[in-house]
Amino acid sequence: MLPDLLKIAELAAQSAAKHILNNDPSTVREKGPTDLVTEIDTKSEDIICEIFEKETPEFGILAEERPGINIDAEWVWVIDPLDGTTNFVHGYPSFGVSIACLNNGYPILGIVVELPVGNVYSATVGNGAFCNGNPIGVSKTNTIENGLFVTGFGYEHDEAWEANMNLFKQFTDQSQGVRRLGAASVDLCHVASGKVDGFWEFDLHPWDTAAGIVIVKEAGGTVSQMDGSPFSIFNRNIVASNKALHNKMTGQTRPVIEKLRLNGIDI
Ligand code: IPD
Ligand code: CA
Ligand code: CA
């Protein structure tokens, strides 16, 4: 069953990716002052959902740009039709299409098409992780000092955002660097393929993380909340790493999330 689902997911993701690359982000609507949604996001989602509605009509759909459909079903597709919209709008080359499949609430399949480069990252539970059909694995870096990291900043410039500015500084001080690219699903694939050693972010949504966490775990990495506790796609904060650095990373993120929680903020 998983190989068949992966084929369907890949058809959907590639069809959306083709549409995205064939378009100019000229029609930009504003969700919030910095949260851009283009007509291309919604069309990309339509393309994906049409394929799923035809191929797997009994599956639920949890997609970013529409209300959830049957999201308590045994099988649910989780879709970010264009992750990294701001980058896409500005022509900055880090965006993608992210699709996961949940079985009884657990992500068991993930595919991310990284654009504009066209890399296809995919994984199904128990079968390893791949990029363009070749097996991938996390890095072996075992000290923060030797590590390269990536993080992201959400649209809300709130207390968690402020806290992440400090974490950005903290990790930058200690490591070989921290990148901020702007597409969380792609960032997770960069952990999975060993390009970076770890990733963290606040305030994410299931469609940002569901596919990437399957790919990271199948590539040998670890995923948790910032306090080190198990991560569910409905948690808003995440740490993903090459496993070797996980406790070292959460040792630094834990006090930050605990302090935010004491102030009533849990994202
Ligand atoms: C955003 C990206 C970005 C992350 C934001 C997300 P979108 O998704 O993944 O990297 O920092 O929190 O909302 O809006 O471009 O699909
Ligand atoms: Ca997103
Ligand atoms: Ca999106």
pLDDT one digit per residue (tens) for the chain, 267 residues: 899 999 999 999 999 999 999 987 766 666 666 666 788 999 999 999 999 999 999 999 999 999 999 999 999 999 999 999 999 999 999 999 999 999 999 999 999 999 999 999 999 999 999 999 999 999 999 999 999 999 999 888 999 999 999 999 999 999 999 999 999 999 999 999 999 999 999 999 999 999 999 999 999 999 999 999 999 999 999 999 999 999 999 999 999 999 999 999 988
CATH number of the domain to which 92 belongs = 3.30.540.10
Same domain, yes or no: 19 and 118: yes
Same domain, yes or no: 186 and 220: yes
pLDDT at 132: 98
Same domain, yes or no: 28 and 126: yes
With a CB cutoff of 8 Å and minimum separation 6, the contacts of 55 are 8
pLDDT at 26: 65
> Would you say residue 44 lies in a domain?
yes
Same domain, yes or no: 86 and 193: no
Distance CA 35, CA 154 (A): 9
Report the domain count for the chain. Answer: 2
Q: Coil, strand, or helix at residue 162?
A: helix
Distance CA 155, CA 86 (A): 10
Ligand nearest to the CA of 203: 1
Q: Measure 28 CA to ligand 1 centroid, in angstroms.
A: 16
- Of 135, 167, 202, the position where a domain reaches its end is 135
Residue 154 Cα: closest atom of ligand 1:
12
pLDDT at 267: 84
Same domain, yes or no: 164 and 115: no
Same domain, yes or no: 163 and 227: yes
CATH number of the domain to which 196 belongs = 3.40.190.80
Cα angle 129, 245, 238; round to 5: 70
Kindly list the protein residues whose Cβ atom lies closer than 6 A to any atom of ligand 1.
80, 83-86, 152-154, 182-184, 201, 203-204, 208
Same domain, yes or no: 165 and 113: no
Residue 204 Cα: closest atom of ligand 1:
12
Q: Measure 252 CA to ligand 2 centroid, in angstroms.
A: 25
Ligand nearest to the CA of 182: 1
> Would you say residue 267 lies in a domain?
no
DSSP 57-70: TTSEEEETTS--BS
Same domain, yes or no: 151 and 128: no
Same domain, yes or no: 201 and 82: no
Closest CA to 152 of 117, 105, 186: 186
Q: Measure 183 CA to ligand 2 centroid, in angstroms.
A: 7
Task: Look up the pTM and report it.
Answer: 0.96
Same domain, yes or no: 130 and 29: yes
Same domain, yes or no: 213 and 97: no
Q: Measure 59 CA to ligand 3 centroid, in angstroms.
A: 21
Domain extent for 161:
144-262
